[in-house]
Structure 1
């Protein structure tokens, strides 16, 4: 079946954060200092629930100071302000659209990053954001959300992302085609899609 839908991961694929402050990691470190043991699903929890820093701490049974909340919020704001497109993102998306492809986003990210993503990438046919779906890649639920939104078959989808497990192994197991993009090695979207899509 020929590819008719291109699904993109967001950060490390279409967008980058130039000033990383990692506020959620800071929150987890602060809770660890209070005696909380890190859990394997901590990152998934952050990215699949719509909770503030204070609400997350409370969910895990801890309280954090107002000063820490303000500091975390400042770090978050700085990260959000530094989000920008990779040089080839806009041109590539316009070319794909002109060729009739449907475009979708599928990303693991905490809720505050959602608006920044929508502002930068407003014209997609479907969105599967982990905090909205309530599941993170590679959980099949997040990929199924896209199928439900687009009313298509998994075999019609090509997934492009920078994380092997979430963006290649997960989509492939679900029945999609998938390609890894390695931005740190200078790879472009066109190069990542080579052999699957000609643009």
Structure 2
């Protein structure tokens, strides 16, 4: 394939992993349903495209969350955040790609607390970071991909998308004219092998 100018990485399942999940947002949505709010297909979009904490998010959904439940969910989030860690090949691969002159970006669908954690643990290798709650849009919405192009003043064909989601990180980027690579961590795949044609000397 033609060498890309910009390589865009997904975060969770690609560069970082959660050691143990507590599903805090599922707990919030369960309470909202029990409190009379009807679930919507747009709920995940709302969670990941609003720059708010749990208490404010409940208000976005039209509810005032009880203090005890708020504390439980916040504790679950803190627990998850403390289990987040980089894959061993993340930093070496990013450094190598940077040394070869590629522009690097991070693009992830996630709620605000997880974005703050990502910024704290990832190296300063990225030329730009696109987090759904900051952009106000999630993958696979076209807007979040177009924001990347605008930031780098490039065309779709200049971008390589790398991620673990077959649709959001591969199928949709390819349909828009980008290149894409799927990484399957559950099959012991690593970044250096997958991007070998880009990072080989």
What's the secondary structure of 2:126's corresponding residue?
Answer: coil
Give the structure 1 partner of residue 110 of structure 2: 109
Give the structure 2 partner of residue 62 of structure 1: 63
Instruction: Give, in whole Å, the separation in 1 of the partners of 2:131 and 2:102.
Output: 20
- TM-score, length basis structure 1: 0.94
For 1:37-59, what per-residue CA distance to the aligned partner results, in whole angstroms no more than 9, with x for missing partners?
22111111100001222222222
Return structure 1 stretches of 4+ with deviation > 6 angstroms: none
- Is the CA contact 1:139–1:170 (under 8 Å) kept in the aligned structure 2? no
Counterparts of 1:47-196 in structure 2, within 5 Å, are 47-121=48-122, 122-195=124-197
Shift of 1:189: 0.9
- TM-score, length basis structure 2: 0.93
Instruction: Give, in whole Å, the separation in 1 of the partners of 2:193 and 2:40.
Output: 37
Instruction: Give, in whole Å, the separation in 1 of the partners of 2:96 and 2:199.
Output: 10
CA RMSD of aligned residues (A): 1.4
Instruction: Give, in whole Å, the separation in 2 of the partners of 1:14 and 1:189.
Output: 9
Instruction: Give, in whole Å, the separation in 1 of the partners of 2:45 and 2:183.
Output: 22
The total of aligned residue pairs comes to 198
Instruction: Give, in whole Å, the separation in 2 of the partners of 1:153 and 1:10.
Output: 22
For 1:7-44, what per-residue CA distance to the aligned partner results, in whole angstroms no more than 9, with x for missing partners?
10000000001121121111001111222222111111
